[in-house]
Amino acid sequence: MSPEQFGSAVLDWYDRHGRKHLPWQQGITPYRVWVSEIMLQQTQVSTVLGYFDRFMTALPTVQALAAAAEDEVLHLWTGLGYYSRARNLHRTAKIVVEQHGGEFPADVDALAELPGIGRSTAGAIASLSMGIRAPILDGNVKRVLARFAAQDGYPGEPKVARQLWALAEQLTPRQRVAHYTQAMMDLGATLCTRSAPSCLICPLQTACQAHRLGRETDFPVPKPRKTLPQKRTLMPLLATDEGAILLYRRPSSGLWGGLWSLPELDDLAGLDPLAARHALQLGQRRELAGLTHTFSHFQLAIEPWLVQVQGTAPAVTEADWLWYNLASPPRLGLAAPVKALLARAATELQGDSP
């Protein structure tokens, strides 16, 4: 199958079956495409839909995003995970406004230099919103091409990645690049899926090498698996009689960077110095059901304790600590497990009310 035949097959399929009604496909702008592409990194379309609509309602332009407080951006991102994406989104918006006059560069290399925008995301922004011919190689397209060529080797290896990029470049047509880019993403998302590809209705089946070999699910070659190490932490939920929980803002770099979280202790003995730091008197404590949160490179076992505290109208003098009111919560960025633990605390405290 020649590149021309490949492109025609993909575009014919798109005209009949491609997705054309996703929110970011309406009123297309580089800003809307960029936000959707960042949200869709390692996140399914069904999850992103609600987040995208809320984000666009709150921050409809790159200027609005650049002017927003980081807490507001992280609040809108809460639950999507991989929070460095949100911080990079905020940084890039400021750069676009301050250095590019509020307009995204109409150049793939210049786009790829912006924080959080790699080569594939830059290609998607350029092709989908500007009509610039640019190959992409996101997870869905990588799967389609790895199967089409029966590409040996893990795509995360530089040599294999170069081979797939060369194939993507060769096959990307010069006409209808926006539709072709969307079609390739749609093929991977709806037909060429990880575990049960729908090969019989795929427009590429007759030329797909993996299909010819009957080895569709062997490609792309998976990353060598490693056993995830486990770590443990104790998270106290220090609760006032008014139903406020003590939180602190994590450093901007590292895990949950810039998000508000619960204190982390090695054991219950750490409660006393924590209470002394904030002039609190410790009261009744109870252990809540634990939970495990999986990061890309380790699992965190969280042991939560709900601890009643009293103080002199608890006030926080340090900028990176605050009392989070469960009844009228502020708009803050929260890590997903912390948000879940705060909800549990609210339920427990309501149960204690007379």
pLDDT digits (tens, 9 = 90+) for 85-105: 999 999 999 999 999 999 999
- Whole-model pTM: value is 0.81
Closest CA to 332 of 68, 75, 73, 65: 75
Q: What is the pLDDT of residue 42?
A: 85
Q: What is the pLDDT of residue 254?
A: 85
pLDDT tens-digit series, residues 104-134:
999 999 999 999 999 999 999 999 999 999 9
**Least confident segment among 203-207, 318-322, 335-339:** 318-322
116, 24 Cβ separation under 8 angstroms: no
Q: For 154-161, what is the mean pLDDT?
A: 95
Q: Which domains does the chain have, with CATH numbers?
A: 3-218 (1.10.340.30), 230-352 (3.90.79.10)
Q: For 39-53, what is the mean pLDDT?
A: 93
Instruction: Report the alpha-carbon angle 31-35-39, nearest 5.
Output: 170
Look over the chain and give the mean of its residue pLDDT values, rounded to a whole number: 94
10, 180 Cβ separation under 8 angstroms: yes
Catalytic positions, please? Answer: 37
3-state DSSP assignment of residue 207: helix
Question: What token pair was written down for 267?
Answer: 């054991």
Q: What is the pLDDT of residue 315?
A: 64
pLDDT tens-digit series, residues 271-322:
999 999 999 999 999 999 999 999 888 999 999 999 999 875 466 657 799 9
DSSP 20: -
Q: For 327-336, what is the mean pLDDT?
A: 92
CA separation for the pair 279, 283 (Å, rounded): 13
Is pLDDT of 269 > 60? yes
